[in-house]
């Protein structure tokens, strides 16, 4: 547990609002910065080209005669990514593919050090990555040459540890102004009148609130900042006494171990570790817990896709446009208000192959990657999300289905043309 010292850490909410339109890629921060092309300088080994694995492993290496697909993800995606890989390897793949998986993606500095996701994947000898909600692009970063396909929702749960309150979940109500005041240190005790007014039937203790937060590059911080934008004056300055976590797993552990603390984690972490989480106010004034229903409503109501990519009038290469996103903080009608996407990010080899090329014209590893991603986005892969209380991102979402169909050819169509390596 690292207690923050010195100057308070500011998160720029004005910049974060702009992020909802212009996305770029940064996964959850793990172990520090890494220089592209320099190999491993922080203990995170790249996936070897022969299909070996490191970190969290699902399925082992690629056996002789199979095309290895090296997949990686941010650690917060591990619960469902591991299941996707295991089930694809055992049930779905066409017999000539072996997917290997690592959950250690040290990539907080992608917008600073990489021109695109393809360069990042190449540096790690990976073929596909599942990325959490991106943060701001900067420098020469571009989407060109890569595909970003939504494959799962990402919801941020506001978690807290008040020993006197019931376990999962107590559903303490919080609105944007009150949550902003708590996280910025303007509300310091749990029985503050602002919190009590939202929870008149709850006995709140006169105990000091301990704030736990990610660093400024975390995807959950970005999503939460945009939710709080309506209540802030442009920034959230964390209290001097706050605790700083270097990963989502670390943050959840800090909150569980620190009485009277509050923080925020991916909803999958909150579910798996049985944390207590809050009901947040959406744009219609409803107080909602994160759940499959409320997250699904957010995806249906708030998905933003470039219309040109849906109706077929856009560029021939969908990767040239920004990926779909969710309008965080502008959600009502039963929607949980802090929801985004996890994306499957991989090189768009069709662009290099020429206009009109689809996955059936590709062979070997390129076709294997597309088949794996297509399976994740299809009905079998999306059902696995139910174990994390996440809904399918494609259920009752025609615009997103149309985007996926353009990216993958046919999202639930026949197998890609994968041939065994010679």
CA distance readout (Å), 128 to 105, 147, 347: 12, 10, 8
* 34 is a domain residue: no
The answer to whether 139 touches 111, Cβ cutoff 8 Å, is yes
The pLDDT, as a whole number, for residue 282 is 94
More confident residue, 15 or 395: 395
Indicate whether 294 belongs to any domain.
Answer: no
Q: Which domain holds residue 255?
A: 2-23+155-283
256 and 403 belong to one structural domain: no
268 and 321 co-located in one domain: no
Residue 114 phi, psi (nearest 5): -125, 140
- 2-15 residues labelled b (16+ CB within 10 A) or e (exposed): eebeeeebebebee
Two structure tokens written together for 377: 């986005």
Say if pTM beats, i.e. exceeds, 0.75: yes
- Here the CATH number for the domain that contains residue 144 is 3.40.190.10
Give the closest residue to 104 by CA, choosing from 73, 58, 150. Answer: 73
Give the model confidence (pLDDT) of 145-167 as tens digits. 788 899 999 999 999 999 988 77
Of residues 394 and 407, more confidently modeled: 394
Give CA–CA dist 100/54, Å, rounded.
9
Tell me the pLDDT tens digit for each residue of 243-265. Answer: 999 887 889 999 999 999 999 99
164 and 305, same domain (yes or no): no
The verdict on 18 and 118 lying in the same domain is: no
Q: Is residue 35 part of a domain?
A: no
Q: Is residue 30 part of a domain?
A: no
Task: Note the pLDDT of residue 28.
Answer: 33
And the tokens for 409? Answer: 């050819």
Cα 172 to Cα 130, 159, 365, distances in angstroms: 32, 10, 49
Contacts of 341 (CB under 8 A, 6+ apart): 133, 150, 151, 152, 153, 154, 323, 324, 325, 326, 393
Q: 181 and 118, same structural domain?
A: no
pLDDT over 60 (residue 317): no
Q: Which of 259, 283, 307 is the last residue of a domain?
A: 283
210 and 182 assigned to the same domain:
yes
Question: Same structural domain for residues 275 and 166?
Answer: yes
Which residues pair with residue 160 across a beta bridge? Answer: 262, 276
257 shares a domain with 351: no
Given this model, what pLDDT does residue 362 score?
A: 55
Where do we find the tokens 């890569």? 146
**pLDDT level of residue 307 (50, 70, 90 thresholds):** confident
Give 97-148 pLDDT, tens digit per residue: 889 998 765 544 455 567 887 888 888 889 998 887 554 555 566 777 788 8
Is position 397 within any domain? yes
Question: Both 144 and 205 in a single domain?
Answer: no
Q: Mind spelling out the 3-state secondary structure of the chain? A: CEECCCCCCEEEHHHHHHHCCCCCCCCCCCCCCCCCCCCCCCCCCCCCCCCCCCCCCCCCCCCCCCEEEEEEECHHHHHHHHHHHHHHHHHHCCCCEEEEEECCCCCCCHHHHCCCHHHHHHHCCCCEEEECCCCCCCCCCCCCCEEEEEEEEEEEEEEEECCCCCCCCCCCEECHHHHHHHHCCCCCECCCHHHHHHCCCCCCCCCECEEEEECCCCHHHHHHHHHHHHHCCCEEECCCCCEEECCHHHHHHHHHHCCCEEEEEEHHHHHHCCCEECEEECCCCCEECCCHHHHHHHHHHHEECCHHHHHCCCCCCHHHCCCCEECCCCCCCCCCCCEEEEEEEEECHHHHHCCCCCHHHCCHHHHHHHHHHHHHHCHHHHHHHHHHCCCCCCCCCHHHHHHHHHHHCCCCCCCCCCCCCC
Q: State whether 137 and 161 are in the same domain.
A: no
Of 251, 283, 315, the position where a domain reaches its end is 283
Could you tell me if residue 55 is inside a domain?
no
- Rounded Cα–Cα distance for residues 190 and 362 (Å): 58
In this structure, are 163 and 148 located in the same domain?
no
Please count the structural domains in the chain: 2
Residue where a domain stops, chosen among 255, 283, 311: 283
Asked whether residue 414 is assigned to any structural domain, the reply reads: no
Burial classification of residue 45, based on how many CB atoms lie within 10 Å of its CB (0-12 exposed, 13-18 middle, 19 or more buried): middle
In whole angstroms, give the CA distance from residue 117 to residue 347. Answer: 8
Residue 181 has φ and ψ, to the nearest 5°, of -65, -35
| Structural domain contains residue 248 | yes
Q: What proportion of the chain, given as a percentage, has pLDDT over 90?
A: 37
Query: How do beta strands 67-73 and 128-131 pair?
Result: parallel
pLDDT score at 184: 94
- Which contacts qualify for 82-91: CB closer than 8 Å, 24 or more apart? 82/56, 82/58, 83/384, 83/387, 84/375, 84/376, 84/381, 84/384, 85/58, 85/59, 86/58, 86/59, 87/380, 87/381, 87/384, 88/372, 88/375, 88/376, 88/381, 89/58, 89/59, 91/380
Six-digit token string for 182: 């708590």
pLDDT in tens, 334-385: 999 999 999 998 987 665 544 454 444 456 788 889 989 999 999 999 999 9
In this structure, of 102-106, 265-269, 393-397, the range with the lowest mean pLDDT score is 102-106
Residue 298's pLDDT band (cuts 50, 70, 90): very high
User: What is the average pLDDT value for the chain, to the nearest integer?
Assistant: 75
pLDDT tier for residue 300 given thresholds of 50, 70 and 90: very high
Highest mean pLDDT pick, 28-37, 44-53, 65-74, 171-180: 171-180
Q: pLDDT of 3-45, one tens digit each?
A: 444 333 343 433 333 333 333 333 333 333 333 333 333 333 3
């Amino acid at each position: 547990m690292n207690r923050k010292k010195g100057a308070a850490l500011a998160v720029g909410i004005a910049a974060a609002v702009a992020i909802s339109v212009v996305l770029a890629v940064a996964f959850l921060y793990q172990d520090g910065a890494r220089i592209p092309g320099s190999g491993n300088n922080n203990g995170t080994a790249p996936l070897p080209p022969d299909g070996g694995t490191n970190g969290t492993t699902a399925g082992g290496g690629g056996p002789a005669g199979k095309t290895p697909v090296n997949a990686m993800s941010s650690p917060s995606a591990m619960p469902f990514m591991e299941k996707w890989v295991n089930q694809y390897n055992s049930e779905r793949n066409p017999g000539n593919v072996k997917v290997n998986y690592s959950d250690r993606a040290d990539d907080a500095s992608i917008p600073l050090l990489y021109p695109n996701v393809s360069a990042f994947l190449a540096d790690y000898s990976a073929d596909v990555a599942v990325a959490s909600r991106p943060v701001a692009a900067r420098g020469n970063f571009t989407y060109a040459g890569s595909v970003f396909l939504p494959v799962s929702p990402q919801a941020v749960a506001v978690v807290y540890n008040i020993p006197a309150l019931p376990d999962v979940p107590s559903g303490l109500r919080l609105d944007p102004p009150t949550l902003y005041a708590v996280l910025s240190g303007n509300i310091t005790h749990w029985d503050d009148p602002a919190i009590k007014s939202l929870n008149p039937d709850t006995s709140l203790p006169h105990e000091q609130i301990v704030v736990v937060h990610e660093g400024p590059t975390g995807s959950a911080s970005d999503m939460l900042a945009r939710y709080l934008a309506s209540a802030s004056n442009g920034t959230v300055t964390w209290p001097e006494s706050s605790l700083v976590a270097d990963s989502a797993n670390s943050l959840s552990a800090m909150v569980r171990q620190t009485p009277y603390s509050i923080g925020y984690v991916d909803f999958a972490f909150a579910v798996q570790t049985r944390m207590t989480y809050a009901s947040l106010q959406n744009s219609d004034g409803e107080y909602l817990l994160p759940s499959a229903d409320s997250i699904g409503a957010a995806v249906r109501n708030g998905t933003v896709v470039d219309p040109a990519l849906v109706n077929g009038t856009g560029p021939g290469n969908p990767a040239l446009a920004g990926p779909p996103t969710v309008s965080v903080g502008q959600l009502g009608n039963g929607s949980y208000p802090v929801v985004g996407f996890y994306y499957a990010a991989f090189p768009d080899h069709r662009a290099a192959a020429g206009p009109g090329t689809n996955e059936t014209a590709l062979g070997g590893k390129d076709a294997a990657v597309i088949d794996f991603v297509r399976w994740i986005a299809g009905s079998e892969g999306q059902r696995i999300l139910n174990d994390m209380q996440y809904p399918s991102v494609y259920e009752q979402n025609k615009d997103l289905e149309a985007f996926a169909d353009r990216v993958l050819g046919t999202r639930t169509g026949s197998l890609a043309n994968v041939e065994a390596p010679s």
